Amino acid sequence: MAKYLFITGGVVSSLGKGITAASIGRLLINRGLSIRMLKMDPYLNVDPGTMSPYQHGEVYVTDDGAETDLDLGHYERYTGQPTSQKSNITAGSIYWDVLHKERRGDYLGGTIQMIPHISDEIKGRIRALEKENPDIIVVELGGTVGDIEGLIFLESLRQLALEVGRDNSIFIHLTYVPFIAAAKEVKTKPTQQSVAKLREIGIMPDVLVCRTEVDLDREHLDKLSLFCNVPKDCVIVEKDVETSIYEIPLMLQRAGLDEIVLNRFRIARPAVPLKDWEKLIQTIKNPAGTVRIGVVGKYSELQDAYKSIYEALYHGGYAAGYKVEAVKMAAEEIEGNPAVLDTVDGILIPGGFGVRGMEGKIRAAQYARENRIPFLGICLGLQCAVIEFARNVCGLAGADSTEFDEERGAKAEHPVVCLMEEQVDVREKGGTMRLGACPCSLVEGTKAYEAYGAKQISERHRHRYEVNNSYRAQLEEGGLVLSGINPDIGVVEMIELADHPWYVATQAHPELKSQPVKPHPLFKEFIAAAVKRHEG
């Protein structure tokens, strides 16, 4: 029978529950245990797929095509284990399914209520992970204790913990212990009130993880233990880290959190040092230098909109022994002043939707090509590179994507990027969004092939538009190397330039599979090229 580890948050949001959950997952795997991780979001959207990046940040895509919360990115980066559609639950999807069952008559005309119908649906979704036979299922509840939309989730966790028994469940409550600068005092009252809220619901936290900006004295820890009814050795301090969020697993291991969990579950597994993570932190703390990478995006002011992009860039830097400074560049500003790109060692164009900033991205791709600056295009970044090459090398002055026909008020004269259904040879495939893992066959001798060291690869996708096969011959005659092709549907997956230090673009989202101790090959080679340019 699987054990359950529940993580809740109190006082304020954005405390880093996702990173803490991922770090705990890393520690459990390090002790030889198999785990599955699940994020529950109380908002009423069915999934994050249509949510604005300004509100929600990036949409994280799994191999099986689920559009999920960005915390699943933390889970995969820290644990090295893939997530799936089962790994993210929203309140919207729960209500959606229950109401559909009611309409079908599954409840035989009964009155549908929060308890037991909604709570049973939530528990059923959680327990579905038991079919994969993990030792421990780690469940993170988004939001903050006291949020009205999260109450039914907390009630469901209370019921589930009762059903599986005390020896098979543990509650870890992440809370904020503020330091009031004017009074020069640490305040434990917000945490006490947060725990009181949990106790009202019927949940007694077994472990407190205290987020804080300062060190906590024994006096504070004893007070938290006494008033929150948590054993002293189960009050864990998670102070702000100075170097990197990848220090958190080491911090929690030093505090003995993995040992506390195993003791509760009566599991005997020897302690194992996190040697690869210790080595990683030493690399981060002692870089050989700094390289600047310009990220030319539509949502450049939002850190979370390109969360996985930035993390993958940092991972590439770790492999090279360098610190990466991700320079956020608004695409609209590049259009009129591309020379600002001379201040960076590499240029990356991330994915996106909509025409805003498109010409600036196209101009950035041109500048990288003409000035031999290392370049990596991702999803829309590949499409920008193809449009730019078609316009300025192949002489197709009206080259564009049909995605922007309506917004530009005219049809593209040369639709070098279009929906699959607009292409004769793949008409039967339809024009729906490609989501999840897709295969790619790489051409031997190309930079992409050298980076991966394999001919057949698989990457995750989230897009609707493809390179138009009708223009492939012209693009290749102009010198564009089509280095990766999808063997199933015959569309271009990767492009590059042979006579350039490093100019590669992919239709996929490789950033979703990068890890700090195992950087993605494309990001690793991209940063290596940027380092070479930097050193001169």
> Does the active-site annotation cover 315?
no
348, β-bridge pairs: 295, 376
8 A C-beta contact, residue 61 and residue 461: yes
> Which among 520, 448, 523 is positioned nearest to 485, based on CA atoms?
448
Closest CA relative to residue 154, chosen from 121, 119, 183, 127: 119
Distance between CA 136 and CA 431 in Å, rounded? 40
Q: Which one of 511, 520, 525, 534 is the catalytic residue? A: 511
Question: Which tokens sit at 186?
Answer: 């640490």
Cis amide leading into 116 (omega within 30)? yes
Spell out a b/e string for 182-211, using b for 16 or more CB atoms within 10 Å of the CB, else e.
eeeebebeebbebbebbeebebbbbbbbbb
Contacts for 291 with CB less than 8 Å, ≥ 6 apart: 317, 320, 322, 323, 324, 325, 345, 346, 527, 530, 531, 534
Would you state the structure tokens that stand for residue 214, as one six-digit string? Answer: 């300062």
- Choose, from 509, 520, 525, 534, the residue flagged as catalytic: 509
Identify whether 438 is a catalytic site residue: no
> Which of the residues 228, 379, 394, 440 is marked catalytic?
379
DSSP string, 28-52: HHHTT--EEEEEEE-SSSS-GGGS-
Query: Going by C-beta distance under 8 Å and a sequence separation of 6 or more, which residues neighbour residue 67?
Result: 47, 48, 49, 59, 60, 61, 435, 462
How many other CB atoms are there within 10 angstroms of residue 425's CB atom?
12
379 is an active site residue: yes
Phi, psi of 437 (to 5 degrees): -70, 135
Helical packing angle, 71-79 and 307-320, nearest 10°? 20
**Coil vs helix vs strand at 230:** coil
Amino acid at 513: K
So which residues are the catalytic ones?
Answer: 379, 509, 511
